[in-house]
Amino acid sequence: MLASSKTGIMFKSRINCLSLAVFLSMVVVGASAQKRLPELIDEGVRNYPGIKARLAEKESFGKEVNAARAEYIPRVTTQHQYTYGTSNSVAGAFYPNPAVISPAGSIRPENIDQAVWGSFTSVIMEWNVFNFGKVSGNIAASEKSRDAADANFENELLRHKVKIADAYLLTLMYRRLAAIQEVNLERARTFSDVVNAGVTSGMRAGVDSSLASAELIKAKILVLQAERERKTQALRLQELVGMRSSQEVEVDSMSFLSGVPLRADTGSWQPGANPLIRYYQFRRDASHARSIAIKRSFLPSITLVGAAWARGSGISPVDDSYHTDFAYGTKYRVHNYLLGISTRWTISDFVGVRQRYKSEQLRTVRDEEFLNEQEIRTQRQLAEAQMQYEISLEQAVAAPVQLKAAQDAYRQASARYESGLTDLPTLMQSLVTLNRAEADMAIAYMNVWRSLLAIAAAKGDFSIFMNAVVR
């Protein structure tokens, strides 16, 4: 009995020292942590390639709006050329196909193969002073597409912040679970040593040693599993922050492991506050605006035209004589100008434009239904997140009670086992229950934070979560 008492004292002493050592190691890890959640979110927003790509896409749509507005500016075209060729022509009609060189030359009875130099300079200004709303329709369509791109960027930004925060929380949770399993491993190792000592001295049955060894191996497996999950989430967090270094991110536990947000007032759901809902709204509006622009594209434009040009030729305008030198041929001989108003209307485009208009209207219907689908999905996600938040709060309140009961049960079972009043399986069951209660408490606390994060994501307002963090 004396040996059993000494063994029990040694067992308790080793457990107490172990708990103190693990606690101090966790304090040191927390003190050496460098990265807090707001800091990592800022780094992720700055460095993550996907966010940079979305930003570039957003800015590109802004340039498209500027390009559409530039249609109001008069078009000015200028050209200058030197040519060396013959000048022969005949009377008759000619269709000015762009792929055919315009026939310009003198009509004479014989064909002259002598080439001469020539020059031609022109400036043409065209201004669509009245276009029946075609330009404004294109601008409106571009602006709606830009607004959709802006909302899409905001949604990607929100989603990325949520991913970083979730990876941060999971990293903390698995770090705590790894520490808990380390404590459990040392507890199982000490327990195994005590049991083996009792078996060696003949005070315990040999089967107790086998059971203790099995529990020790199980504890080692749990440590490896927790460490694997911790490293996985740390690597995920490193990726989301945009770090290319192989060094693991050190995170600060802040207040996540010591408290929970208590029923924060998140306000009522406003669909327009969610950037994903706004994206679908603007996408629908953009399809509608494009259909209007397509419809107006059939209409004509009234254009003011101004032009000036000058020509030089190696053929003399006085006696039709040929001069082959460059200076004579490129010197300007005549100049002209033109002012006028013009309109052009391709009436046969009506059929094609009408079909494209109907096609775009159907896309508008499609986007409207996608919007309705997303609103229903978001409402479900919000209701689910709020339900999980309420249940997680209740679990977080019950978890400390469960842990205290498990600790009391373990102490009682340990004392009874040392006194020979209970068997080893009962003590091992209390050990498993204590380990589960310690893990459940860490998970329960983190589930509250993750549920609040899910509410913020569904409402499209990340400040709901961050306000609870920094409070």
**pLDDT at residue 205, rounded to an integer:** 56
Q: Which two tokens stand for residue 298?
A: 């059939």
Q: Are strands 106-107 and 88-89 parallel, antiparallel or unpaired?
A: parallel
> What's the farthest any 2 CA atoms get from each other in the chain?
140
Q: Which two tokens stand for residue 214?
A: 């099995």
Q: How many CB atoms lie within 10 A of CB 370?
A: 14
Segment 195-246, tens digit of pLDDT: 666 666 655 555 667 777 787 888 899 899 989 999 998 899 999 998 877 6
Residue 87's nearest CA partner among 315, 333, 318 is: 315
Compute the average pLDDT of residues 422-447.
84
Confidence of residue 2 (pLDDT cuts 50, 70, 90): very low
The fraction of the chain above a pLDDT of 90, given in percent, is 48
Backbone φ and ψ of 398, nearest 5°:
-80, -25
The answer to whether residue 101 scores a pLDDT higher than 60 is yes
Per-residue burial over 27-45, b if 16 or more Cβ lie within 10 Å, else e, is eeeeeebeeebeebbebbb
Burial class (CB in 10 A: 0-12, 13-18, 19+), 279: buried
Compute the average pLDDT of residues 408-428.
78
Per residue, what are the HEC states of 189-224?
A: HHHHHHHHHHHHCCCCCHHHHHHHHHHHHHHHHHHH
| Range of weakest confidence among 43-52, 339-348, 419-428, 432-441 | 419-428
Segment 133-190, tens digit of pLDDT: 999 999 999 999 999 999 999 999 999 999 999 999 999 999 999 998 888 888 788 7
Residue 329's nearest CA partner among 116, 120, 122 is: 116
